[in-house]
Amino acid sequence: MKPVHVGVIGLGTVGAGTVDVLARNAPEIARRAGREITVTRAAVRDTSRPRACDTRNIALTDDPFAVVADSRIDVVLELMGGEETAFDLVTTALEHGKHVVTANKALIATRGNELFAKASEAGRVVAFEAAVAGGIPVIKVLRESLAGNRIDSLAGILNGTCNFILTEIREQGLEYGAVLNEAQRLGYAEADPHFDVGGIDAAHKLTILASIAFGTHLNFDSVHIEGIDQLRQQDIIYADELGYRIKHLGIARRQEGGLDLRVHPCLVPEEHLLANVSGVMNAVLIRGDVVGDTLHYGAGAGAQPTASAVVADLVDVVRTLTADPGNRVPHLAFQPAQLADSETLAITEIQCAHYLRLSVRDEPGVLAEVTKILGQRQVSIRVIIQKDLGGDDRVVPVVIVTHTAKEADVAQAVREIEALEVSSAPIVRIRLETLE
Ligand code: NAP
Ligand code: HSE
């Protein structure tokens, strides 16, 4: 049978990793796909730059539109990133009858509804396993392996860069900026690392997972987003002392009244499996009504793990090249006509325990004032510790762990405590999930 011809847009971390894997494992991949796979053409910005893969048999161009329009190409791998140009490239590829594999979570989360409609019209596939959790095949798991379940919730460490930074700060005592630089050097971070540390990348991934889990249209705007850029090492240390680890989590839950969709730093009990996911590793805990809990773990970023997911999609696409488009696995797991719009809970409506770090004057009656406000707002205290920093400073940290309370009540109590004359700095507030 004639080989399948592939055009690649982007030979950076993921693109070069993918071309390398396709060459290294070519015989095995061909046996799985049923066809030989040949990378014919690739687009980059700078064709003179050395690449981390063998490009001797690949025609390089700096015009990605020439690749998607090339009549010899059967499948396009969009491994460039960004939203606008990537959208135009993918739609042009579909118009030219090509299937597309992408690692671009920003594109899928924000423009996926349009793209999948165009793909269905064209009878083509847009595959995106590599867009979520790097090398972990979690899209396939949710879309196919758990198809008999009603998915109740999922919670995961979805950004390798954030987890790498949190781990290095906690375990090596390294400084935030230095670890972020290292994540960039290792190829984990996005072109704009604010997408990682600001929580946007994790929110893109959560948007995709939630859609596939609950059968809803992709709705990036419904996710509450907080990053790790406001976290302080002090809070990582206090959380440790209290028996927790701080992780950047993505959480999607069905609740009465709507979906609870959020990404933010979170205290997790230290004995929980998610608390022990370190470095660039990701993990996704999925709760289905039939199977119960399943946990999916693996490298969340980097050239080879991501290439593993891209190549898996490519093999799937090649296997289905001759299949009837109506009988393929739907892009978002549910048949397109069955996708629903969902109500989403405002962040103020969620119920959650909290870690609070106050900076207050060390004077008689201060704790009484603080606990009175919490009590008035129906926020019950589970642990309260006043840290003795051993200096003459009359301002001390007071760390409070609350029981589960309504987010709006906690936020109001925080505002009232901050307004006290004895309060000398904004309160650090981090949510806590037992994931029970
Ligand atoms: P990267 O290292 O920055 O590579 C981007 C590649 O795209 C480069 O080769 C660049 O060319 C090329 N490119 C950019 N704009 C172009 C244009 N206008 N025309 C032609 N080529 C262009 O990025 P990456 O880390 O591989 O990420 C690529 C995609 O994969 C992104 O969507 C990212 O979110 C996603 N992803 C990344 C990872 C990861 O671990 N890095 C994991 C999962 C998903 P030059 O090399 O000449 O500049
Ligand atoms: N920048 C992303 C991360 C790449 O660090 O997780 C993988 O999607």
CA of 301 to the centre of ligand 2 (A): 5
> Do residues 181 and 286 both lie within one domain?
yes
In a domain, 262, yes or no: yes
Is 301 near ligand 2, meaning CB less than 6 Å away? yes
243: left (phi > 0), else alpha (psi -120 to 50), else beta? left
Q: Are residues 280 and 150 in the same domain?
A: yes
Are residues 230 and 426 in contact, defined by beta-carbon separation less than 8 angstroms? no
What pLDDT, on a 0 to 100 scale, did the predictor assign at position 391?
Answer: 66
The predicted pLDDT at position 276 comes to 98
Q: What is the pLDDT of residue 388?
A: 77
Q: Are residues 152 and 267 in the same domain?
A: yes
What is the phi/psi pair of residue 354, to 5°?
Answer: -135, 150
| Residues 158 and 200 placed together within one structural domain of the fold | yes
Does ligand 1 have an atom closer than 6 angstroms to the CB of 137? no
Cα(97) to centroid(ligand 1), Å: 23
Measured CA to CA, the distance from residue 221 to residue 96 in angstroms comes to 31
For residue 126, list its beta bridge partners.
Answer: 100
Q: Is 235 in the pocket of ligand 2 (CB under 6 A)?
A: no
Does 103 sit in the ligand 1 pocket, CB within 6 Å? yes
Q: Is the CB of 196 under 6 A from ligand 2?
A: yes
Q: Are 249 and 155 in contact (CB under 8 A)?
A: yes
Q: Which residue has the tokens 């630089």?
A: 181
Q: Is residue 272 part of a domain?
A: yes
Q: Looking at the structure, do residues 179 and 101 belong to the same domain, yes or no?
A: no
> Which residues on neighbouring strands pair with residue 262, listed in sequence order?
224, 251
- Same-domain status, 286 and 427: no
CA-closest residue to ligand 1 atom 30: 103
pLDDT of residue 324: 78
Given this model, what pLDDT does residue 394 score? 86
Domain boundary among 285, 314, 338: 338
State the residue range of the domain holding 403. 348-432
Task: Give 170-197 pLDDT, tens digit per residue.
Answer: 999 999 999 999 999 999 999 999 999 9
Q: What are the residues whose beta carbons fall under 8 Å from the beta carbon of 339, sequence distance 6 or more?
A: 211, 215, 216, 217, 332
Q: Please check whether residues 229 and 279 belong to one and the same domain.
A: yes
CATH of the domain at 249: 3.30.360.10
Q: Hey, which of 102, 159, 166 would you mutate to test ligand 2's pocket, going by the most ligand atoms within 8 Å of its Cβ?
A: 159
State which ligand 1 atom lies nearest to the alpha carbon of 80: 7
Token pair in block for residue 74: 């059967």
Task: Please check whether residues 285 and 368 belong to one and the same domain.
Answer: no
Q: How far apart are CA 330 and CA 338, in angstroms?
A: 11
Same domain for 209 and 170: yes
Q: What was the pLDDT predicted at 397?
A: 95
Q: Residue 210 has what pLDDT?
A: 98
Contact 160, 180 (CB under 8 A): no
Looking at the CA of 89, name the nearest ligand: 1
Q: How confident is the model over 43-91, as pLDDT tens digits?
A: 999 999 999 999 999 999 999 999 999 999 999 999 999 999 999 999 9
Handedness of CA 374, 378, 379, 382 (dihedral sign): positive
Residue-wise burial string across 230-244, b where 16 or more C-beta atoms lie within 10 A, e elsewhere = ebeeebbebbeebeb
134 lines ligand 2 (CB under 6 A): yes
Q: Is the CB of 163 under 6 A from ligand 2?
A: no
CA atoms lying within 13 Å on the CB side of residue 218: 24
- Among the bound ligands, name the one nearest to the CA of residue 250: 2
State if residue 14 touches ligand 1 by the CB under 6 angstroms criterion.
yes
Strand ranges (DSSP E) for 338-413?
351-361, 381-386, 395-402, 405-406
- Give catalytic residues, as residue numbers: 205
When divided into structural domains, the chain yields a total of 3
pTM over 0.75: yes
Show which of 299, 323, 358 is a domain's final residue: 299
Alpha carbon nearest to ligand 1 atom 34, residue:
104
Do 167 and 294 belong together in one domain? yes
Rounded average pLDDT per 10-residue block, the chain, 436 residues = 95 98 97 95 98 98 98 98 98 98 98 98 97 97 98 98 98 95 97 98 98 98 96 95 98 96 98 98 98 98 97 96 82 94 94 97 94 98 88 85 98 98 96 94
Instruction: Tell me whether residue 224 is in a domain.
Output: yes
Nearest CA to ligand 2 atom 4: 301
Atom number of ligand 1 nearest to Cα 189: 41
- Mutational test site, ligand 1, from 18, 45, 67, 138, max ligand atoms within 8 Å of CB: 45
pLDDT score, position 428: 97
- Taking the CA of residue 44 as reference, the ligand 1 atom at the shortest distance is 21
Q: Are residues 202 and 320 in the same domain?
A: no
Residue 391 sits in a domain of what CATH number?
A: 3.30.70.260
> In this predicted structure, what is the pLDDT of residue 392?
62
pLDDT (0 to 100) of residue 348? 95
Residue 343 inside a domain? The answer is: no
Q: What is the CATH number of the domain that holds 104?
A: 3.40.50.720
Residue 161 sits in the same domain as residue 285: yes
Ligand 2 contact, 208 CB (< 6 A): no
